[in-house]
A and B are shown apart, each in its own frame.
Chain A
């Protein structure tokens, strides 16, 4: 199978990472309390960053790694903001 010229082993690795993302999505949907859902979102963000880097390696272009750096910092800021909101303090 030739999927956009990506070698098979990287397709397997990206599929396994996607399986892990799906397990985190199930936690986001099921989660009994609000912090459970945010923990699931945090995990999804980290796995998306790593799979972007691996996809960049598979597709042979560095631009995905740059996008991953920016995504890492933005997801960190959003996690901190939601944590502050859950805490109920003043900003």
Chain B
């Protein structure tokens, strides 16, 4: 009884994760701009992979509690993979957005760009060196 219930929970988690990953693909195709595409391509995949890894962790936990020690390997390794995704994905997105802005890509439909005349760290250092 409890076994089948956990199976149903695993399938629901898989469905939610796949739904958000497909939303990421659709958003990448439909959005007009680099910055809005970053929203779709990074946030949706991070949120979806939380649920997909959660289903694998639940599978391993059930195996572990029922007495099979191999389940602990599933739980720990998938947890490490989830932490790796959660740490690296937003950092990469931040670096990409900064690189896109500095390489001169403008947001579509933006009226004002407040970062336009703001000196970057390197150019500020050069200005100080000239003085």
Chain B interface category by residue count: 35 or more
B96 adjacent to chain A (CB < 8 Å): yes
A76 to B37, alpha carbons, bound, how many Å? 18
Inter-subunit contact B77/A50 (CB<8 Å): no
Given the interface pairs A33-B105, A46-B46, A53-B56, the reply to whether A79 lies near B85 with Cβ below 8 Å is: no
| A28 and chain B: residue at smallest CB distance | B28
B64 interface residue, CB < 8 Å from A?
Answer: no
Across the interface, B84 reaches (CB within 8 A) one of A27, A38, A72, namely A72
Across the interface, do A87 and B84 meet the contact criterion of CB distance under 8 Å?
no
Q: Is the CB of B25 within 8 A of A35?
A: no
B29 CB–A CB distance under 8 Å: yes
Give A66 to B26 CA distance when docked, in angstroms. 29
Residue in B24, B59, B77, B102 whose CB lies within 8 Å of A69: B77
22 CB-based A-B contacts, threshold 8 Å: A9-B11, A17-B21, A19-B25, A20-B22, A20-B25, A27-B37, A33-B34, A39-B41, A43-B28, A46-B46, A53-B52, A62-B70, A62-B77, A68-B81, A73-B84, A76-B89, A76-B91, A79-B95, A80-B91, A83-B92, A87-B102, A87-B103
